[in-house]
């Protein structure tokens, strides 16, 4: 799924999923192999490429983990 990564007003990383109309703050991040796992405030875990662009906001492909 396509997600947008951006910084919120407090300067924290935030994820927006347009198809789900979901906007959540990232509460933790960890590296697993070639991917970065983002844990959102609602409990979702998203896997994104570790080499994501540094400049925000950006839209990337993410995979929701079960």
pLDDT band for 54, please (50, 70, 90 cuts). Answer: confident
Would you list the domain boundaries of the chain?
2-65
Superfamily covering domain 2-65: NifT/FixU-like (2.40.50.240)
The C-alpha torsion from 16 through 52 and 2 to 62, rounded to 10°, is -100
Average the pLDDT over 32-36 and give the result.
Answer: 94
pLDDT of residue 52: 76
* Cα–Cα distance for residue pair 9/1, rounded to 1 Å: 25
Please check the confidence at residue 63 and state whether its pLDDT lies above 80.
Answer: yes
Distances (CA, A) of 32 to 1, 21, 38, 49: 19, 27, 11, 10
pLDDT of residue 49: 93
* Interval 2-33: pLDDT, tens: 999 999 999 999 999 999 999 999 999 999 99
pTM score: 0.89
Residues 57 and 5: beta-carbon distance below 8 Å: yes
Helix runs in the chain, H state only: none
């Amino acid at each position: 799924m396509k997600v947008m990564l951006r910084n919120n007003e407090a300067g924290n990383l935030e994820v927006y999923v347009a198809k789900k109309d979901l906007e959540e703050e990232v509460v933790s991040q960890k590296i697993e192999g070639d991917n970065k796992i983002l844990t959102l405030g609602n409990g979702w875990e998203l896997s994104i490429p570790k080499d994501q662009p540094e400049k925000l906001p950006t839209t990337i492909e993410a995979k929701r983990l079960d």
